[in-house]
Amino acid sequence: MDSSSPISSDAIATEVSFRPFAFANATAIFLLIGATSSLYGPLLISFSHKFHISLPETGILLSVNFVGAFFGVPLGWLAIKRFTGKTVLCAALLPMAAGATGVALSSSWTLFLICAFIVGVGFGGVDFSLNTLMARTALEGRAHRLSFSNAGFGLGAVVGPLLIIALRPHNFPLLFGGIAVAALVLSTMNQGLHAPPLRAETKQRELSMLKSQRRPILATFILAYILYVAVETSSSGWIASQLHREGYSASIASLVTAGFWCGLTLGRVVGGPLHKRVGDKALVLVGLSLALLLSLVAYSSVLAPYAYPVLGLVIASVYPMGLIWYTVLCPHDSDGLALLILFMMFGGVIGPGVESLMVSAFGIHVVPLVIAAFAALDIAVFASAIRFRPLSGP
Report pLDDT for 7: 39
pLDDT of residue 59: 81
Does 1 reside within a domain?
no
- Reply yes or no on whether the pLDDT at 347 is more than 80: yes
The larger pLDDT score, comparing residue 221 to residue 165, is at 221
Q: Does residue 208 belong to any structural domain of this protein?
A: yes
Q: 304-315 and 211-245 are packed helices; what angle lies between their axes, rounded to 10 degrees?
A: 160
- Is 394 within the bounds of a domain? no
The percentage of residues in the chain with a pLDDT greater than 70, rounded to a whole number, is 90
| Residue 251 within any structural domain of the chain | yes
pLDDT of residue 8: 40
| Domain-embedded: residue 393 | no
CB atoms within 10 A of CB 24: 14
Number of domains in the chain: 1
Q: What is the 3-state secondary structure (H, E, C) of the chain?
A: CCCCCCCCCCCHHHCCEECHHHHHHHHHHHHHHHHHHHHHHHHHHHHHHHHCCCHHHHCHHHHHHHHHHHHHHHHHHHHHHHCCHHHHHHHHHHHHHHHHHHHHHCCCHHHHHHHHHHHHHHHHHHHHHHHHHHHCCCCCCHHHHHHHHHHHHHHHHHHHHHHHHHHCHHHHHHHHHHHHHHHHHHCCCCCCEECCCCHHHHHHHHHHCCHHHHHHHHHHHHHHHHHHHHHHHHHHHHHHHHHHHCCCCHHHHHHHHHHHHHHHHHHHHCHHHHHHHHCHHHHHHHHHHHHHHHHHHCCCCCCHHHHHHHHHHHHCCHHHHHHHHHHHHCCCCHHHHHHHHHHHHHHHHHHHHHHHHHHHHHCHHHHHHHHHHHHHHHHHHHHHHHHCCCCCCC
More confident: 393 or 304: 304
- Reply yes or no on whether the pLDDT at 206 is more than 70: no
Question: Which domain covers residue 194, as residue numbers?
Answer: 12-387
**pLDDT above 90 (res 367):** yes
- What mean pLDDT, rounded, does the chain reach? 85
Q: Residue 344 pLDDT > 70, yes or no?
A: yes
Q: How far apart are CA 49 and CA 114, in angstroms?
A: 19
User: Contact 13/41 with Cβ under 8 angstroms?
Assistant: no
The CATH number for 122's domain is: 1.20.1250.20
Of 45 and 218, the one with more pLDDT: 218
Report the share of the chain in percent with pLDDT over 90: 36
Q: At how many degrees (to 10) do helices 109-135 and 20-51 cross? A: 160
Residue 203 pLDDT > 50, yes or no? no
Query: What is the pLDDT at residue 341?
Result: 80
Within-domain flag for 62: yes
Q: Please tell me the predicted confidence (pLDDT) of residue 332.
A: 65
Q: Please report whether residue 77 resides in a domain.
A: yes
Least confident of 51-60, 175-184, 259-268, 269-278: 269-278
HEC string of 179-218? HHHHHHHHCCCCCCEECCCCHHHHHHHHHHCCHHHHHHHH
In this structure, of 34-48, 54-68, 326-340, the range with the lowest mean pLDDT score is 326-340
Q: What whole-number distance in Å separates Cα of residue 17 and Cα of residue 30?
A: 17
Instruction: Encode pLDDT of 221-279 as tens digits.
Output: 999 999 999 999 889 888 888 998 888 888 888 889 888 988 988 888 887 777 778 88
Q: Is residue 337 part of a domain?
A: yes
pTM over 0.85: no
